[in-house]
Amino acid sequence: MYDRLVALLVEEFGIDADCVRPPATVRDLEVGSLMLAEIAVIVSEETGVRFDDLDSGLSLDSTLEGLAAAFKAAVARGVETATA
């Protein structure tokens, strides 16, 4: 999931690849709340996980590593729900 976030940030949103590192925060990358919401929607569309299943703790102070973990956990919960 981290690699997908990096690709989105660099390819879709034009963030400098040299700045995209696991400990970088959303704020460090000058990503606003609207862009963060757009990323969440893209991940939701690609994975089939509903947007409201994503961790509500996501913020501009979230690290990329934290975002990847939150998205990955939401996908895992979605898979568990689908197979239960």
pLDDT at site 84: 46
In whole angstroms, what is the distance from residue 32 CA to residue 60 CA? 7
pLDDT tens figures, 4-46: 999 999 999 999 999 999 999 999 999 998 998 898 889 889 9
pLDDT at site 41: 87
The number of C-alpha atoms within 13 Å of 82 and in the hemisphere containing its C-beta is 11
pLDDT at site 17: 95
Is 70 exceeded by the pLDDT of residue 54? no
Strand partners, 53: none
Is 70 exceeded by the pLDDT of residue 56? no
pLDDT at site 16: 96
Is 50 exceeded by the pLDDT of residue 83? no
Q: Using CA atoms of 2, 7, 32, 48 in order, give the dihedral in degrees to the nearest 10.
A: -70
3-state secondary structure of 63: strand
Characterise 25 by phi-psi region: left (phi > 0), alpha (psi -120 to 50), beta (else): beta
- As a whole number, mean pLDDT of residues 56-76 equals 86
